[in-house]
Structure 1
Amino acid sequence: MECKERAENIENEGLIIGEPVCWYAMSVPYNRVLKVKDMLDSERIECFVPMRYEVRTVRGHKTRLYVPAVSNLLFVHTTDSRLKMFKQTTTFLQYLVRRVDGVSRKIVVPDAQMEQFIRVSRTSDDGLVYLKPEEINLGKGTRVRILGGVFDGVEGLFLKVKGRRSRRVVVLVDHVSAVAVSEVSPDLIEVLDS
């Protein structure tokens, strides 16, 4: 678990001193992601929902809407105890888990991965492609850093994305999701040591 921060303020926040503040990957079924995000915001709990613009037909008219990019996905940045307290009133909010040695473990996203993912997801680039982890062949990728432009400093894997003509830089959140940036000029890519 790579959580940099520690809870220090126990007044009004329900935090325990020294407990790590981590990014938890959560699932919110029944299209309630934005409702839960509003609830977390009102409780002053940091959270992130990857969003994108999408053209949909509403009442016979095409409309550009700002919608969640990945169905049911929400990231919450808090302590485990505070999240458990919040979950008592929001029963449909669920931890995303993965099996490790036959045991289900909550998916905790390292801060560095989350920073990169948020940075890319918050750009207004229409060329972003969101992928499931199983859609990516990590063995064929090269670790790179983008130099210059809107994605300056972003690190990821340079690889071929299914259904796209050219290779792209993919920013991965282990076991949860990935986002492929639009095409980047090769002269703006620095290869990193593995």
Structure 2
Amino acid sequence: MGSKEEKVWLAMRVTYRREMLARQILEEEGIENFIPMRYQLSKEKQKKRELVPVVHGLIFVYTRLSDIQRIKKEREVPYLQYMVDSRSHEKIVVPEDQMRRFIAVAGTYDESLLYFQPEELNLKKGTRVRICGGEFEGQEGIFIKVKGARDRRVVIAIQGVIAVAMTAVHPDLIEVLDH
């Protein structure tokens, strides 16, 4: 048999706020996926907390390209589209270790997490760090000042897609990494 196609994390767009429908189809097909979510009070009279996408239209899919192409065709899912890097015009593939770090943080639904579009942050000004204790122990990111926060935060970024800034981390729990 020839070379086996590898599974990759794809950053994908979902049009018309159909993220949850796309997620359902992917899960029916046994395909791992991740939508960054947060709690928000509903707009109804009986206000209740509900989980909603942080960014409408964004889903990460862990699959082989051939599988997602088959599903898009067979299940008629034209609203699930590849995100493309503006410079290289290639599909955005997220390295697995970076995606797992992002999921480990964003998947907590912690209400103090801040989300940013990539162009909102200058990660070059930050310092690469590892957290050495607490809820996010072992996570690595960039330690920088972000708008909307008094102190510096550790940020995990998915290049060209989204970034998440963690809650304030005590300086004693941060280890600086070499560049």
Instruction: Place the TM-score, normalised by the shorter chain, in its bin.
Output: over 0.9
Offset from partner CA, 1:13-38 (integer Å, 9 cap, x none): xxx85111100000001110011101
- Per the alignment, residue 98 of structure 1 pairs with 85
Residues 1:110 and 2:78 are matched in the alignment: no
CA distance in 1, matches of 2:124, 2:168: 20
- Which 4+ residue blocks in structure 1 deviate beyond 4 angstroms? none
CA distance in 2, matches of 1:52, 1:99: 28
Unaligned runs of 5+ in 1: 1-7, 9-15
Offset from partner CA, 1:113-172 (integer Å, 9 cap, x none): 000000001114210011110011012110000111110000000001112111100001
Task: Please report the RMSD computed on the Cα atoms of aligned residues, expressed in angstroms.
Answer: 1.4
Aligned with residue 29 of structure 2, among 43, 49, 59:
43
CA contact (8 A) 2:40 2:49 kept: yes
Q: Tell me, what secondary structure is at the counterpart of 1:20?
A: coil
TM-score, normalised with respect to structure 1: 0.87
Offset from partner CA, 1:32-77 (integer Å, 9 cap, x none): 001110110001011111111111321x232211111121100000
For residue 110 of structure 1, what is the amino acid of its counterpart?
A: P
Unaligned runs of 5+ in 2: none
For residue 102 of structure 2, what is the amino acid of its counterpart?
A: F
CA distance in 2, matches of 1:39, 1:133: 28
Higher strand share: 1
Aligned with residue 151 of structure 2, among 155, 158, 166:
166
CA distance in 1, matches of 2:86, 2:168: 34
1:182 positional shift: 0.7
CA distance in 2, matches of 1:117, 1:37: 18
